[in-house]
Amino acid sequence: MKLLSFPIPARSIATAAALAFLPTPSASALSLNRESPEIHFPANYDIKRKESISSVIASEKFRYLGGLTSFWEPEWSTTLVYEGDVKSLNEFLAGLWRVEGLHVRVTFSSDLSAETGSALKAGSWWLVYSHTMPDTVTVRLNLAAETFKGDTLELLLPKP
């Protein structure tokens, strides 16, 4: 068996090595860090609903900690992390419930820090959006959040 070898200039190796360590703008190959609260909606998403959701999630009433959009098909999910007390959570939920045509699911976690790994902060709650359920957002509550300690976790549900 004959082994073929080709000379590679040292300059090319140095250039490739340098490029490998350049910082990227808060992104990896399949995800994007969200410095501001934004959802990656499908291209043909209802504009009025998109604007209504965006006005709630970007409101300065709510303390945004960070987020992530994963570009894994078919979900293309976005997770946004917030911190706040029960009153703030209820305002957040009320704003989402007012969005016409949007379904709001509320789920509970005994401790979101156990679910996040190193990608996201645990926060008080997460908002999760996925292209596979385009008219639904999930608000995942962190029962271990310090901001909920001492409060009675009472959610104010909308009238049917």
On whether residue 2 sits in a domain, the answer given is no
pLDDT band per the 50, 70, 90 thresholds, residue 12: very low
Tokens of 147: 């901001």
- Angle made by CA atoms 101, 88, 52, in degrees to the nearest 5: 25
On whether residue 39 sits in a domain, the answer given is yes
On whether residue 18 sits in a domain, the answer given is no
On whether residue 56 sits in a domain, the answer given is yes
- Quickly tell me which residue has 């911190």 as its tokens: 83
On whether residue 107 sits in a domain, the answer given is yes
Residue 122 has pLDDT above 60, yes or no: yes
On whether residue 142 sits in a domain, the answer given is yes
pLDDT recorded at residue 157 = 76
Q: How many domains does the chain have?
A: 1
On whether residue 93 sits in a domain, the answer given is yes
Closest CA to 52 of 102, 121, 90: 102
pLDDT in tens, 25-81: 444 568 888 899 999 999 999 999 999 999 999 999 999 999 998 888 888 999 999
**CA 17 – CA 39 distance, rounded (Å):** 34
DSSP 159: P
Provide the whole-model pTM: 0.77
pLDDT recorded at residue 26 = 43
On whether residue 25 sits in a domain, the answer given is no
Q: Which domain holds residue 101?
A: 32-148
pLDDT recorded at residue 118 = 66
